[in-house]
Amino acid sequence: MASGFFALLDDIAALMDDVAVMGKVAGKKTAGLLGDDLAVNAEKASGFVSSREIPVLWAITKGSFLNKVIILPVAFLLSAFLPAAVTIILLIGGFYLAYEGAEKIYEYFFPHAHPAKKPVLEKLTREQALEQEKEKIKSAIITDFILSVEIVIIALGAVTGEPLLNQIIIVSLIALVATVGVYGIVALIVRMDEFGAKLINLNDRDDSFSDIMGRFLVKALPIVIKSLSVIGTIALILVSGGIFVHNIHFIHDLVHGIPAILGEALVGIVVGLLTLPVVNLLKKIWKKIFSKSTE
């Protein structure tokens, strides 16, 4: 009886060792994408009235958890019964990430004019403001769903050869850490200016330490969000390039002789530049078809 109990403990310890090792691998694979996730969510969660920032962020976080609850079982079923589908979805996600990264780079070098928003002359009622808030939360949750699919599939792709139980534990932990970590950091970011303002108002002196720190935090917020956007774009290119390098032997052989990070960046940029005009053309065709159907 005792020997059976200790054998069970030994099996659990071995399982935890495997989970820890593969968890590190999956974590490295998804870490780059989390930079973009963080940048996107920081942008989505900002722009609200100060008193509504945390409630809105909590609503988005709950939606993110629900997204994971929907995505994870589907991903595990595919891994168990149709593993080839995981690779296919991974490659589709790679094209999407490459396109998104290339679009951001193109927009930086060749910015196109955005239609100016008309100023709102009348003050919104409480009901209108709440309705607008709901729409923004809905948009943020939909964006989170797309990013969550990418994170889960990339994490699952890193542990495809592992037993199903290991896959479930590792990918679920990655999904949980991604949600808690990303939205925890987003909460700190969106409250930076508020915390800075409180430091400034601690006393009437202009040269106090609290004043200097407060002004620094207020000024740093837009810089942090812009920096995250740049980091996120680089992450998109590297992650997408890594997907193609590690899953298509022909591409892997092409970049085998150069440093891994350079090869992945090169592949990500090339795939993005090839995907960008194709997607833009499809968008134009779709708009023409849609506009004709509404006439």
CA 264-268-37 angle, to 5 degrees, is 100
| Distance from C-alpha of 64 to C-alpha of 40, rounded to nearest angstrom | 13
Between 120 and 81, name the one with better pLDDT: 81
Query: Would you tell me how many other CB atoms lie within 10 Å of the CB of residue 202?
Result: 13
**DSSP string of the chain?**
-HHHHHHHHHHHHHHHHHHHHHHHHHHHHHHHHHHHHHHHHHHHH-SS-GGGHHHHHHHHHHHHHHHHHHHHHHHHHHHHH-HHHHHHHHHHHHHHHHHHHHHHHHHHHSPPPPPPPPP--SPPPHHHHHHHHHHHHHHHHHHHHHHHHHHHHHHHHHTTTS-HHHHHHHHHHHHHHHHHHHHHHHHHHHTHHHHHHHHHTT-S-SSSHHHHHHHHHHHHHHHHHHHHHHHHHHHHHHHHHHHHHHH-HHHHHHTTTS-HHHHHHHHHHHHHHHHHHHHHHHHHHHHHHHHHHH-
Would you state the pLDDT for residue 170? 83
pLDDT digits (tens, 9 = 90+) for 123-152: 666 676 677 778 878 877 877 787 788 788
| Distance from C-alpha of 131 to C-alpha of 124, rounded to nearest angstrom | 10
pLDDT digits (tens, 9 = 90+) for 146-203: 778 878 887 877 777 777 787 888 888 888 887 887 778 777 777 777 778 888 887 7
Q: Which residue has the tokens 């005792």?
A: 2
Measured CA to CA in angstroms, residue 272 lies from 33, 153, 194, 275 at distances of 16, 20, 38, 5
Instruction: Flag the least confident range among 49-53, 141-145, 247-251, 282-286.
Output: 49-53
| Distance from C-alpha of 106 to C-alpha of 276, rounded to nearest angstrom | 9
Query: Would you tell me how many other CB atoms lie within 10 Å of the CB of residue 284?
Result: 10
| Distance from C-alpha of 131 to C-alpha of 121, rounded to nearest angstrom | 18
pLDDT digits (tens, 9 = 90+) for 64-115: 889 889 989 988 888 888 888 888 888 888 888 888 889 888 888 887 655 5
Between 228 and 217, name the one with better pLDDT: 217
pTM for this entry: 0.68
Do 44 and 187 touch, CB atoms closer than 8 A?
Answer: no
Per-residue pLDDT at 18 exceeds 80: no
Average of per-residue pLDDT values in the chain: 75
Per-residue pLDDT at 240 exceeds 80: yes
Do 80 and 164 touch, CB atoms closer than 8 A?
Answer: yes
Between 27 and 56, name the one with better pLDDT: 56
Would you state the pLDDT for residue 273? 92
Per-residue confidence band for 266, with pLDDT thresholds at 50, 70 and 90: very high
Per-residue pLDDT at 117 exceeds 80: no
